[in-house]
Chain A
Amino acid sequence: MRRLPTWLLLAAASSYAFLYLPLIIVVAYSFNDSRLNAEWVGFTLDWYRVLLHDEEMLLAARNSLLIALVSSGAATLLGTLAGLGMHRWRPAWLPLLVITPVAMPEILLGVSLLVFFIQVLHLTLGFLSVVLAHITFSIGFVAIVVRARLAGMDESIFEAARDLGATPWQTFRLVTFPLILPAVVAGFLMAFTLSLDDFVITFFTAGVGVSTLPLQIYSMIKIAVTPEVNAVSTLLMLLTLVLVIAASRMDKGFMRGAG
């Protein structure tokens, strides 16, 4: 192996520092005994106590989890079908339909759904519109992870199942599904995380009907910087950390899918 020049190591190390330092500060100040996020005063858990008594924040957290659960469940089902279909029949239009919603700037999907829900479906914005919007952008991620898993598999096992007299459904239930299960679970976890984290599309499709954690955080930081936001951010980061690590343990292709 070639030895890396020192300046390159330093440049890479500073990029890593640039990625982590701001987040470390957010976490550190969540334990800081000061109303200002300016300098370290002393350790406290007060901001977490404030958080536990913030009714609006708790309601937003409950909404976020419920929306994430429902939308990622539906997106996993639809995305797995899309991934299977793309691998098996290779229709040229499906990848386009599945990937374009996530390749465009989020605001475009957000405003077009806003117009569609109100003008065409005459839907009152709220829980349902947010769930439908989240499913729309999550399908692509699940489909890509599932298709990547299928692409890495040996086709002869499916032929063997058929030769042994298995019906298409039996082949799916006994061979294909157990093999793609890690990717399906990874896709689910990814869709769950994306839904939990989404701000832009939720911002346009939630109306006044429902608030989520990102919406709540946005309206708080729009007004002022407060350590309560640091506390909720720290908890949210901890949750996504667990979800991402779980997803990457589940499926090796997950990290490539994320890129």
Chain B
Amino acid sequence: MTKWAVLSPPTLFLLAFFLAPALIMVLASFQYPGEFGGLAPLTDPGDGKEFGLTLENHAFFFSDWLFAEIFARSFAVAAASTLICLLLAYPVAWLIAQSPRRHRDLLVLLVILPFASNFLIRVYAWMILLGPQAALARTLNGVLAALGLEPVSLLFSPCAVLVGMVYVHLPFMILPLYTNLEKHDPVLLDAAQDLGANAWRRFWGVTWPLSLPGVFSGSALVFIPVLGMFAIPDLLGGTRDMLIGNLIKDQFLGVRDWPFGAALSIMLTLAVLSLAGAAAWLSKPKARAA
């Protein structure tokens, strides 16, 4: 009795507001669009308009290269963001793990604090820094002018999108990496050193393979949200930097083709689920030992 009194409220709430909407989306992806947005009815309304289920939305996706291109671009941006985050995060995570115990909590808190500030504020900060009147753009364009080249815009470019993505998601890479690196036994590195391994070999032979579970979970935490992001391309990117997130947003709030938006969402969900599954499988310690 107690068991169900405890378990049923959160379960029922999430069944209603997470699982049911997810299933509705699957259904919606097979429906016709309504006349003024929304969805067309499932049963015949008797007015000669479209109703019932269709494969048209999925077929539409495969009918135009543009959509495949947007998906490919999103994956490329997510992969690049993940890689840059990894390069920036590793030294920080390592430094924290190697610091005296009493400093570690403070160093971790320093990583969390900027990530606690609103995500739009962090994007806005880069709108200022990369803006045409900011020192960065003026210096760069000064140099370009001296060389007789055309001025460039830092804002509203693919680079700006990448900077924003990395900036917003960096802590997601640092924290799991640190949690992993902190657990390494220093004796292993001592042993490697005694056996004559230099710093380079100690890293690639000991630290890096042991840190792979942290690398994979951090990568999943960066890759997945970047894949669905629409606000950063919206604010920092140009019109040609559209990603999956922007495409989905437009279907629901712009052109109001809900069924196609639902089909795109289902495809994004499938992509994310397979990535998360792969990351979970790769980051299992026993999978590495085998």
Which residues does A use to contact B, with CB under 8 Å? 1-2, 4-5, 8-9, 11-12, 15-16, 18-20, 22-23, 25-26, 29, 36-39, 77-79, 81-82, 84-85, 88-89, 91, 94, 97-98, 100-101, 103-109, 111-116, 118-120, 132-133, 135-136, 139, 143, 168, 193, 197, 199-200, 204, 213-214, 217-218, 221-222, 225, 229, 233, 236-237, 240-241, 243-245, 248, 255-256, 258-259
Contacts and interface: CB of A to CB of B under 8 A. Distances in A.
B91 A8 contact: yes
Contacts of B110: 16, 19
Contacts of A1: 98, 100
B108 A135 contact: no
A74 B24 CA distance: 25
Interface in B1-46: 2-3, 6-7, 9-11, 13-15, 17-22, 24-25, 28, 38-39
B228 A108 contact: yes
B24 A104 contact: no
B276 interface: yes
Nearest to B7: A85
13 contacts: A5-B199, A15-B89, A36-B133, A88-B3, A105-B229, A119-B38, A199-B120, A214-B120, A217-B124, A222-B235, A237-B117, A244-B113, A255-B108
Interface residues of B, number: 87
A125 B7 CA distance: 29
A71 to B, nearest CB: 12
Nearest to A229: B124
Contact of B14 (A15, A139, A199): A139
A2 B186 contact: yes
A19 B123 CA distance: 12
Contact of A97 (B18, B112, B225, B262): B18
Nearest to A38: B133
Contacts of A19: 110-111, 114, 167, 170-171
B117 A236 contact: yes
B245 A136 contact: no
Nearest to B4: A85
B252 interface: yes
B116 interface: yes
Contacts of A217: 118, 120-121, 124
Contacts of B171: 19
Among A88, A109, A200, A229, the most chain B Cβ lie within 10 Å of the Cβ of A200
